[in-house]
Structure 1
Amino acid sequence: MLFSTMCFSLLSFPYLLIESLNELEDQDLDALVADLNSKSSTPASQPSAITQAAAPAATNPPQTNNAESPRVLQMREPHTKADKIQLALEKLREAKVRKLIIKVLMVDGSSKTLMVDERQTVREVLDNLFEKTHCDRSIDWSLCETNPELQIERGFEDHEYLVEPLSAWTRNTENKIWFLSRPQKYTLFKDPQVFYMWKKDRTLLNSINKRDQELLLKESFEGASLIVPDIEGLLYLKEDGKKAWKQRYFVLRASGIYYVPKGKTKSSSDLACFVQFEKVNIYTTSDYKQKYRAPTDFCFILKHPCIQKESHYIKFLCCDDEHTLSLWVNSIRVAKYGTVLYKNYQAAVKRASTLSSNLHLSTLPAPQPSAPSAAHEGKAMDSGHVGKIHKHPSQQFAAMHFRTTSKEQQ
């Protein structure tokens, strides 16, 4: 396989944990030991877990006859990496905060091993990866989960606590975490008219200026109540336990997706609830035309995060084209997360703008001395690790896992 597999370790697997700790960079291991020393004795409130099978109590790793006890290690400063790992293992067992060691994959085949705890948001993990990869820090960078069994992908939202969704994964999972540049992440805020005025003529949509876009966002996200794009139309539905896909008329509302039953009208009183968003996430898919004989490959599913394999509780929907898929997926995100999603976007723009200003200052030429011949121009630093950009999540996922497609160049 072109890409290395995901390393996902819970404390109940000490041999995997030791291996993962060995993969941590020295500075990260030092930071982990320091963090555990300072916070392991402080109780921390647990977040509302999606699953209760998150991180069971750790078992002791095998001890050798000549190994020093953890208490001895704590009495002196650990110098070798082995000392630090042994101390980290002891502290992790005492810690009140759930911690996971994850391997994040890059599209160039490299990876980064990180320790994350339940208090860290996706935004904080992204910032950590920015420091390690020296990428451009645009607002498009995302952490994504992929599930090869279901052939699905989802971008984690910046406000999510990363440990929570990862704790829903099964022990022998083939799921992976990717660090990707996804232009579709905040496309709704870049071109809000496409989603809020989707019924209008394309010529009119293209004529909307920046000022009008800002007013539209302000009205939709900063008013007395959230305004969700009023997306509706025919979608293909894969009914429970059946192979056939049937067309139904669906309507998006803030509380969920509704459909028009046979023989009924589109009036609100006739609409039937298809799914509510409170306990489900939305995922894009790959190659469902072959896997499930879908009418097109522009599909998405809605499921509880704990469902990791085929289930009757998964809702399958298929769109006619990529544009329709984008309308539904991004509008559903607004309905599910509300103004939090807009705040994520604003924070990402602010960070990117601040970084851009700092980089501009750092790359300005040095002050000219009195002798012009002695001047040396400053050079911009190499951006380092830069991921490839794929147009669509389903294309990105297909490129990773299923008969690798041609990759676009930046």
Structure 2
Amino acid sequence: TEEEQAAKLKAEKIRVALEKIKEAQVKKLVIRVHMSDDSSKTMMVDERQTVRQVLDNLMDKSHCGYSLDWSLVETISELQMERIFEDHENLVENLLNWTRDSQNKLIFMERIEKYALFKNPQNYLLGKKETAEMADRNKEVLLEECFCGSSVTVPEIEGVLWLKDDGKKSWKKRYFLLRASGIYYVPKGKAKVSRELVCFLQLDHVNVYYGQDYRNKYKAPTDHCLVLKHPQIQKKSQYIKYLCCDDMRTLHQWVNGIRIAKYGKQLYMNYQDALKRTESAYDWTSLSSSSIKSGSSSSSIPESQSNHSNQSDSGVSDTQPAGHVRSQSIVSSIFSEAWKRGTQLEESS
């Protein structure tokens, strides 16, 4: 009837109006992202977007090719520290912590240490100080044991670190231990047993950062410093904790151990999602290339990485199994090389 049609039309108008109100209430920011070639891009982000979604947009816009190592890095110039945003984090929520006159920067760049934990887990999960080789299948088993059980296994990292004295440029040695519940230290003159340990910091409300040039700024013993602070602290504060490691390997082990203790299984889910997106991009590019070169499918290869970001992230057609097999082989080769590069970087450190 006309009355029913009028009621439906009214209900639809109300629904559309409510959607517009809801959309208007979403927090949006116009941000500047600095690129690794010293250029920058301006884009709008809203509070519904994760870092992973923003990364995908940047890879598409910059035509840089899909890679696991592309990262959004937050640099806090006043405190001389930086950290790689995790893929699951809400970008707007983090940026709203910046002060209005902030000189902080958001940088889009490749950082091999972002997922080095999953490319070479034996260097981070076994508590060994030296680099080690491991077959790919054994790496998968190790990751499954750590991340796929009923609870995540936090690597029990421990050792002597340098702790900066509050308000001073002096550093003192303490024996620290990482546990699932936080970071602990052994008081002077006490034994390294659970009942003697003192809680240094719980990790629920702090982020871990890399310190930059702290040898000059704070007279640190080495260049390998990590920082723990609440994300809302943007200026010098007594609540910022500074630790210094003897070498780069120890620094990366502690940073990754803290990430595991803080984020748990979510880290592994981030890595798997990034891996699937990268594989999908390579599969799609390979199939597009082979469809153009008709009659030469046996010798078809993917286009260069500069064209990958023009492709969709959608699923791969089942009508070209040969292209799919080839692309899987190419992807395997790519990630094998990535593991090698990760190991070489760690050895050089």
After TM superposition, the score normalised by the length of structure 1 is: 0.68
Output the amino acid matched with 2:192.
K
C-alpha change, 1:169 and 1:40, in structure 2 (3 Å) is farther
Q: Secondary structure at the match of 2:280?
A: helix
Output the amino acid matched with 2:153.
I
Tell me what 1:321 maps to: 247
> Is 1:252 paired with 2:178?
yes
Output the amino acid matched with 1:197.
L
Tell me what 1:355 maps to: 281
CA deviation map 1:350-378 (0-9, x unaligned): 11111111111112252249xxxxxxx99
Output the amino acid matched with 2:152.
L
Q: Secondary structure at the match of 1:383?
A: helix
Equivalent of 1:153, from 82, 89, 114?
Answer: 82
CA deviation map 1:217-246 (0-9, x unaligned): 111101121101111000000021222100
Output the amino acid matched with 1:367.
S
Aligned residues: 292
Shift of 1:340: 0.3
> Is 1:283 paired with 2:212?
no
> Is 1:227 paired with 2:227?
no
Identity across the alignment (%): 55
Q: Secondary structure at the match of 2:270?
A: helix
Give me the whole-angstrom Cα distance separating, in 1, the residues matched to 2:20 and 2:163: 49
Shift of 1:40: 3.6
Shift of 1:114: 1.0
> Is 1:127 paired with 2:56?
yes
Output the amino acid matched with 2:235.
K
Give me the whole-angstrom Cα distance separating, in 1, the residues matched to 2:251 and 2:156: 14
Give me the whole-angstrom Cα distance separating, in 1, the residues matched to 2:83 and 2:26: 26
Tell me what 1:24 maps to: none
More helix by share: 2
Please show how residues 278-317 of structure 1 align to structure 2 within 5 Å: 278-317=204-243
Give me the whole-angstrom Cα distance separating, in 1, the residues matched to 2:275 and 2:61: 20
Give me the whole-angstrom Cα distance separating, in 2, the residues matched to 1:200 and 1:186: 19
Shift of 1:198: 3.0
Q: Secondary structure at the match of 1:177?
A: strand
C-alpha change, 1:168 and 1:217, in structure 2 (3 Å) is same
Give me the whole-angstrom Cα distance separating, in 2, the residues matched to 1:239 and 1:379: 55
Shift of 1:255: 1.6
Shift of 1:113: 0.8
Tell me what 1:98 maps to: 27
Q: Is the 8 A contact 2:166 2:238 kept in 1?
A: yes
Q: Secondary structure at the match of 2:44?
A: strand
CA deviation map 1:274-318 (0-9, x unaligned): 111111000001110010000001001000011111110000000
Output the amino acid matched with 2:106.
I
Tell me what 2:347 maps to: none
Q: Secondary structure at the match of 1:184?
A: helix
C-alpha change, 1:242 and 1:379, in structure 2 (3 Å) is closer
Shift of 1:137: 1.1
Q: Secondary structure at the match of 1:259?
A: strand
Give me the whole-angstrom Cα distance separating, in 1, the residues matched to 2:80 and 2:100: 18
> Is 1:116 paired with 2:96?
no
C-alpha change, 1:385 and 1:170, in structure 2 (3 Å) is farther
Give me the whole-angstrom Cα distance separating, in 2, the residues matched to 1:358 and 1:379: 9
Give me the whole-angstrom Cα distance separating, in 2, the residues matched to 1:310 and 1:182: 27
Structure 1 runs of 4+ aligned residues shifted over 4 Å read: 36-39
After TM superposition, the score normalised by the length of structure 2 is: 0.79
Tell me what 2:125 maps to: 196
Give me the whole-angstrom Cα distance separating, in 1, the residues matched to 2:65 and 2:190: 52
